[in-house]
């Protein structure tokens, strides 16, 4: 047991020596709680090696509780990774429980990769709940930022609930030609049964200068079949703004790709992607994707380093039912690169039902060159078998677009089979572009489509060789 201690000003001394406020090896039923840990409150020395606040290293199949600790950590050494809370106790499941809960981690700064809460134990139950992480920065040549990470697929039950993450920033300073890949991950999880619920992720930033970046809000590492549930999470006010980048990827919620998934009642909003060559999604997942609000997603590529950027409100990654979601205010204001906006993208070789969704105010305001080929689709379909019914799509725009089919309410863009029933699409837009056309629904000739009882209204104004088409 290690409880109620105040541990200050440690970690100075010889280079390359790891130091920890609390360290535990081969412990069972350990309790590390109610400690105050600060390696440098202004009276200490800068660390000269790998730094931990809590390092719970080992204890086979053990129980452990790490809770109610207050931690502030700083590491100015650019060559060393830091861990605020590390846990390896409880590896190999045997009806054991790992609890990492109610910790307050704040006002931390690092010059290399940081793991705020990192669990590697595949216990029977891993709970990471009710933690607060705020005011944490990582700056350096090629750092990564992991706020909460427990990605072991052999964990039986993983729960992350009611965590509050705010004001977390990763700033990358590597050369754009370095080939470096950098990650900013807020909650990364793995396990046979995953439950992420009621978390708030607010004001999260990835910026700087890099070759390739990945930004994840909630991310599951599972590649084998698993059960995953993501409910009642709020993810808001996130920015990825990396200059000189070759490739950038962001997924606000990303599920695994096999098994049973539920993504329900989440709110995703005020997200900015300002990274060249980027592919961005609000939800990248499979299974039951129900009743989520995804709005105010903004694509703004200003650099002209790579050819295209995209923003998808929801993208299928397996057999899915996408129902009852509200998607609105998703737009591209790119001035230097091609940008695409799609509300729901279902173009894999999957069986997917898309029903009772509302999509509105998806648009491009960009001017040349991105407007020349950038397009807006409410729903984009291809491959597999799709059932699309009772959706409402309106207010799609490309006000500077210069392409023959710049806007489509429903776009069956390639081969596949689609049944499209009882949908309502209403378009009424125009453009300053020389060639401008729109379609309430567009169907590629390679697709097999049956349409019944839809309402397709298009009063848009065409330009040049463009057309205003219902179908």
DSSP codes joined into one string, 195-231: EEES-EEEEEEEEEE-SEEEEEEEEE---S-EEEEEE
Across 67-71, 96-100, 142-146, 445-449, least confident range: 142-146
The answer, yes or no, to whether residue 277 has pLDDT greater than 70, is no
pLDDT tier for residue 167 given thresholds of 50, 70 and 90: very high
Q: Of 241 and 352, which is predicted with more confidence?
A: 352
Instruction: Indicate the pTM of the whole model.
Output: 0.95
The answer, yes or no, to whether residue 79 has pLDDT greater than 70, is yes
pLDDT tier for residue 176 given thresholds of 50, 70 and 90: low
Cβ neighbours of residue 312 closer than 8 Å, sequence gap 6 or more: 279, 280, 281, 282, 284, 342, 343, 344, 345
pLDDT tier for residue 374 given thresholds of 50, 70 and 90: confident
The answer, yes or no, to whether residue 42 has pLDDT greater than 80, is no
pLDDT tier for residue 208 given thresholds of 50, 70 and 90: confident
Tokens for 398, please give them: 């490309």
Which pLDDT belongs to residue 433? 83
Question: What span, in angstroms and rounded, lies between the C-alpha atoms of 33 and 356?
Answer: 48
Q: Of 276 and 216, which is predicted with more confidence?
A: 216
Q: Residues 121-130: what's their mean pLDDT?
A: 97
Across 75-79, 405-409, 440-444, least confident range: 75-79
Stated as kind and residue range, the H or E segment containing 67 is: strand 64-67
Q: Residues 211-234: what's their mean pLDDT?
A: 90
Q: Residues 258-286: what's their mean pLDDT?
A: 91
DSSP codes joined into one string, 305-337: SSSEEEEEEEEEEEEEEEES-EEEEEEE--SSS
Q: Residues 72-90: what's their mean pLDDT?
A: 90
* pLDDT tens digits along 424-452: 999 999 988 888 999 999 999 999 999 99
The answer, yes or no, to whether residue 400 has pLDDT greater than 90, is no
| DSSP label of 463 | B
pLDDT tier for residue 276 given thresholds of 50, 70 and 90: low
Please state, for a pLDDT cut of 70, what percent of the chain lies above it: 93
Which pLDDT belongs to residue 227? 95
Question: What span, in angstroms and rounded, lies between the C-alpha atoms of 251 and 185?
Answer: 10
Which pLDDT belongs to residue 369? 54
Question: What span, in angstroms and rounded, lies between the C-alpha atoms of 403 and 414?
Answer: 18
């Amino acid at each position: 047991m290690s409880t109620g201690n105040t541990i200050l000003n440690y970690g100075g001394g010889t280079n390359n020596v790891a130091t920890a406020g609390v360290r535990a090896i081969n412990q069972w039923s350990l309790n590390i709680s109610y400690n105050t840990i600060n390696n440098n409150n202004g009276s200490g020395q800068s660390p000269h090696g790998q730094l931990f606040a809590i390092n719970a290293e080992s204890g086979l199949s053990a129980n452990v509780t790490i809770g109610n600790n207050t931690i502030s950590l700083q590491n100015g050494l650019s060559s060393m990774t830091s861990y605020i809370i590390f846990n390896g106790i409880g590896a190999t499941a045997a009806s054991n429980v790992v609890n990492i809960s109610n910790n307050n981690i704040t006002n931390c700064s690092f010059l290399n990769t940081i793991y705020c809460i990192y669990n590697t134990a595949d216990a029977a139950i891993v709970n990471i709940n009710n933690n607060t992480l705020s005011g944490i920065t990582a700056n350096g040549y090629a750092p990564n930022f992991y706020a909460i990470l427990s990605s072991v697929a052999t964990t039986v039950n993983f729960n992350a609930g009611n965590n509050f993450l705010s004001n977390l920033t990763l700033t990358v300073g590597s050369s754009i030609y370095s080939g470096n890949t950098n990650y900013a991950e807020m909650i990364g999880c793995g396990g046979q049964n995953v439950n992420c619920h009621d978390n708030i992720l607010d004001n999260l930033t990835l910026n700087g200068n890099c070759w390739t970046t990945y930004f994840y809000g909630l991310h599951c590492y599972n590649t084998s079949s698993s059960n995953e549930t993501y409910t009642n999470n709020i993810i808001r006010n996130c920015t990825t703004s990396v200059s000189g980048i070759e490739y950038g990827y962001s997924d606000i919620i990303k599920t695994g790709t096999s098994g049973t998934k539920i993504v329900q009642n989440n709110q995703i909003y005020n997200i900015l992607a300002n990274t060249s060559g980027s592919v961005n999604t609000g939800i990248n997942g499979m299974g039951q994707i129900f009743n989520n609000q995804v709005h105010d997603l903004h694509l703004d590529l200003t650099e002209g380093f790579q050819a295209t950027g995209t923003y998808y409100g929801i993208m299928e990654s397996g057999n899915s039912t996408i129902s009852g979601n509200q998607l609105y205010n998703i737009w591209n204001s790119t001035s230097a690169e091609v940008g695409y906006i799609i509300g729901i993208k279902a173009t894999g070789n999957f069986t997917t039902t898309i029903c009772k969704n509302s999509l509105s105010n998806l648009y491009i305001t960009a001017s040349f060159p991105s407007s020349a080929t950038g397009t807006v689709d409410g729903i984009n379909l291809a491959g597999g078998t799709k059932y699309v019914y009772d959706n409402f799509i309106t207010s799609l725009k490309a006000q500077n677009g210069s392409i023959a089919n710049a806007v489509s309410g429903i776009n069956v863009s390639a081969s596949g089979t689609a049944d499209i029933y009882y949908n309502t699409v209403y378009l009424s837009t125009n453009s300053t572009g020389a060639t401008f056309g729109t379609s309430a629904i567009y169907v590629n000739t390679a697709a097999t489509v049956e349409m019944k009882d839809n309402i397709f209204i298009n009063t848009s104004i065409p330009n040049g060789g463009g057309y205003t088409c219902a179908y």
